[in-house]
Every structure is written in C-alpha cells, then in structure tokens.
Amino acid sequence: MSDQLDIQERWPELFEELDDTQRTSVVQSFSAAWHEGWSPNREDVENLTDRARGAITQEEYFRRADEAAERRREYAKLISS
C-alpha cells in the first residue's frame, strides 16, 4: 500500500470535470476505506466521480457498486478453490 492516497494522480482524467468541492468529497469518501486497506482501483473511482458530477443517479451508482462487489466475490471464490 502506498503511503498516500493518490487517486487524483493515478486517474487525473476522472477528476477533470469536478470542481474543488466535488474533488475533495470524492477523495474524502475513499480516505477512510483506504486507511482500512482498500486498494484504489479505477472502476470504484470512476463510479464515484461520475456520481459526483451528476453523470449518473444514486440508483445507478449503487447498481454499479453491487455489480462490482459481486464480480469481486466471484473472483475471490475462484482463486480460493
């Protein structure tokens, strides 16, 4: 794990359309999870930046998050078998 949360540096294109308040909100949203061991990935960051800029609804955000979680569960099952 990196010693700092670097999602804006890793995927700057996802933050281009966000204002300062939206950027801060996205980064803060991931900070606690990162400190608990979450590994930054583009899909999670893209989904939240899409939500922050209003490109998707809350319902769509939750749908995407649920699908991503299910894919990760299935992958974990495969590699643990």
Return the closest-CA partner of residue 47 out of 72, 26, 70: 26
pLDDT over threshold 60, residue 1: no
The model's confidence at residue 3, banded by pLDDT at 50, 70 and 90, is confident
Indicate the angle between helix axes 20-35 and 42-52, nearest 10 degrees: 140
SS3 state of residue 41: coil
Listed residue (5, 70, 65) closest to 36, CA to CA: 5
15/38: higher pLDDT = 15
Span 20-77, pLDDT tens digits: 999 999 999 999 889 999 899 999 999 999 999 999 999 999 999 999 999 989 988 8
Query: How many other C-beta atoms are found inside a 10 Å radius of the C-beta of residue 68?
Result: 14
